Amino acid sequence: MNILSLFVLIPLLMLAGLWASRTLNQTRGVMLAGSSALLILAIGLAVEYTNLRQGGATADMLFTDSVTWYEPLHIAYSTGVDGISVVMLLLSAIIMFTGTFASWRLKPMTKEYFLWFTLLALGVFGFFISTDLFTMFLFYETALIPMYLLIGVWGSGRKEYAAMKLTLMLMGGSAFLLIGILGIYYGAGATTMNILELASMSIPANIQHIFFPLVFLGFGVLGALFPFHTWSPDGHASAPTAVSMLHAGVLMKLGGYGCFRIAIWLMPEGAQEWSGLFLVLTTISVVYGALSAVVQTDLKYINAYSSVSHCGLVLFALLMMTRTACTGAILQMLSHGLMTALFFAVIGMIYGRTHTRDIRLLGGLMRIMPFLAVAYVIAGLANLGLPGLSGFVAEMTVFVGSFEHPDLFHRVCTIIATTSIVITAVYILRTVGRILYGTCKNPEFEKLTDATWDERTAVICLIACVAALGMAPYWASTIINESVAPVIERLACS
């Protein structure tokens, strides 16, 4: 039994526990125990992984294991992690842990909500530990479906519309993805679905040329690639707090991770051929998302467009295909996951009190709910890349890495992308000035209370992580950088 399988086993046990739970406290107990166990497991894995690497382990992936599922198609349950998966697992565990606290008082149907929530998490964890194309796809789909119910049942606003839109668009992406995966499988000679083995084979260039865009688009939809990002504003706006957190914090990272792990690693020639076009699209994403966020009036829309911009930067950096830029992309995934989760958590908590997210109706919250307001400011500062918080580390790595291309096209794209840091400052400070500072516009709000203990736990955990990554990025940066190397080497050979 591999340690990695625990990441799937614990959620499965949690599902059983939730199924059996009879009271609210039992449900909460199961969630708390399970998510804490996952968090401890993820931290333990990170420590163990670092130790092994320092001990001289040089394989691309550690903790590898494989159990055959279906011999004729070479489908196996294969697991393995490298530095990138380790930090992603850690991120997912943190978000799940804090998400549990953020939905502590959620009503109605708490048990059912947590069931779907755990299923979603199971998909996410499974995706990050898998090294088999088919198994990955399976877990990917497992993560997508619960989203429909979570938004459709527990959401707010136009929830049915948003849930349907999100699911359909992401499913559309998966359709491309499935074709892409089959293309890779048959293109490489139909002998294995294991990524590690596929990475050592070469797929004919003309096949890569056809299937790279399919896979990249398929994952790109989830990574909010322009122009397939429009599920994000509606979906986030309608989703309940913890679902927004998990979705923006982790699920959108599946997109970037998949693009890197499957599209770019397995099809380096296709990547180089198509990188120009996709770079243009991602550069547009970065600036377009930021500019759109400037004039939004709904807090969640602002943050959703901001996510389009920041996730655009992830794909942008991946397509730069230098080692530093790719490290930056993964760091940006980590950083964006943490800070957006924080943002959505705080927005959800504010919304739960004021019942509005319209920035024109809010004001003066700093005096009424100082804790949440300060958390919002910190999230905002992390978003605009303040040194000492995670955003700075990631963005700087991305920009330094992107600048390694001396040709005009990449330079121009990089410089256009850097302008987003100014636009980000505009929309963040505009929102902060509107909703937190100034005087309270609605006398009803004067009676509102500040965060409760469970909300504080969630927020403090996330702030601590954002600050930790921002102040001491050495560990994350190093283990990611080591793990990016095989992909970059493969790109260089092609």
> Where along the sequence are the contacts to other proteins (CB under 8 A)?
164-165, 168-169, 227, 230-231, 288, 291-292, 294-296, 323-324, 327, 364, 366-367, 381, 384-388, 392-393, 396-397, 399-401, 403-404, 406, 414-415, 418-419, 421-422, 425-426, 429-430, 433, 436-439, 473-474, 477-478, 481
Q: Which residues contact 369 (CB under 8 A, 6 or more apart)?
A: 350, 353, 448, 449, 450, 451
Closest to other proteins by CB, 47 vs 471, is: 471
Closest to other proteins by CB, 197 vs 404, is: 404
Coil, strand, or helix at residue 23? coil
Q: Which residues contact 84 (CB under 8 A, 6 or more apart)?
A: 257, 260, 261, 330, 480, 483, 484
Contact 91, 337 (CB under 8 A): yes
Cβ at position 27, least distance to other proteins in Å: 33
Report which DSSP code applies to 259. Answer: I
Cβ at position 193, least distance to other proteins in Å: 31
Question: How many helices and strands in the chain, by DSSP H and E?
Answer: 22, 2
Closest to other proteins by CB, 315 vs 389, is: 389
Cβ at position 323, least distance to other proteins in Å: 5
Closest to other proteins by CB, 30 vs 331, is: 331
- CA 160 to mean position of chain CA atoms: 23
Closest to other proteins by CB, 100 vs 390, is: 390
CA distances from 73 to 67, 133, 193, 258 (A): 13, 11, 8, 21
Cβ at position 236, least distance to other proteins in Å: 14
Structure tokens at 317: 């950096």
Residue 318: how many other CB atoms lie within 10 Å: 31
Report which DSSP code applies to 62. Answer: E
Cβ at position 369, least distance to other proteins in Å: 14
Structure tokens at 331: 């760091």
Cβ at position 88, least distance to other proteins in Å: 20
Closest to other proteins by CB, 99 vs 328, is: 328
Cβ at position 97, least distance to other proteins in Å: 22
Closest to other proteins by CB, 215 vs 325, is: 325
Closest to other proteins by CB, 145 vs 396, is: 396
Structure tokens at 14: 């949690």
Q: Which amino acid is at 22?
A: R
Q: ∠373-289-99 over CA atoms, to 5°? A: 45
Report whether the peptide linkage leading into residue 108 is cis, meaning its omega lies within 30 degrees of zero. Answer: yes
Cβ at position 403, least distance to other proteins in Å: 4
Closest to other proteins by CB, 224 vs 263, is: 224
Cβ at position 437, least distance to other proteins in Å: 4
Q: Which residues contact 403 (CB under 8 A, 6 or more apart)?
A: 411, 414
Cβ at position 438, least distance to other proteins in Å: 6
Closest to other proteins by CB, 148 vs 185, is: 148
Q: How far apart are CA 86 and CA 63, in angstroms?
A: 11
Contact 350, 323 (CB under 8 A): no
Cβ at position 200, least distance to other proteins in Å: 24
Closest to other proteins by CB, 80 vs 220, is: 220
Structure tokens at 230: 């429009």
Q: How far apart are CA 118 and CA 101, in angstroms?
A: 14
Question: Backbone dihedral region of 224: left (phi > 0), alpha (psi from -120 to 50 degrees) or beta?
Answer: left
Question: Comparing C-alpha atoms, which of 458, 487, 383, 476 is closest to residue 89?
Answer: 476
- DSSP E strands in 359-437: the ranges are none
